[in-house]
Amino acid sequence: MRMMLHGKIHRATVTQADVDYIGSIAIDETLMDAAGIIEWEQVDVLDITNGARLTTYAIPAPAGSGMICPNGAAAHLVHPGDLVIIVAYEGVATADLASHRPNIVHVDAQNRIVDLARSDAELTQTIAAREGASR
């Protein structure tokens, strides 16, 4: 088994942070579903703004809310307005590596889904095609 990316929410904007909540990161349920991340699943939060990296677990925030809210100790490292990447991994058998494709969710500044892809390369191609069409 190899630990492989299975879901990623790319460049989400942190909407709030709650030091007094017990722990976790609350994520808009629509984004969780699109990335294939489930409630209580371990996730890594990579803060693009300040370089902080942490491991916690996901809990759903109301669907369509755009909420990204680190709770507990994580709220000391990740702040409202920060851009983050939220990733989850899964064990994939060596025999299945060639067909493995993660769920990549690209969002806008309000954490609305802009693109869905099964790999970073597919997402890059989709964005390039869209930008080419708008010229």
Tokens, residue 6: 């299975």
Is the separation of the CB atoms in 7 and 103 below 8 Å? yes
Per the DSSP assignment, residues forming a β-bridge with 54 are: 45
The yes-or-no answer on residue 89 being catalytic is no
Is the separation of the CB atoms in 72 and 38 below 8 Å? no
Choose, from 21, 57, 65, 89, the residue flagged as catalytic: 57
Tokens, residue 28: 């808009």
The yes-or-no answer on residue 57 being catalytic is yes
Sign of the alpha-carbon torsion through 71, 63, 67, 38: positive
Question: How many residues appear in the chain?
Answer: 135
Cβ-based burial of 88 (10 A; exposed 0-12, middle 13-18, buried ≥19): buried
Active site residues: 24, 57
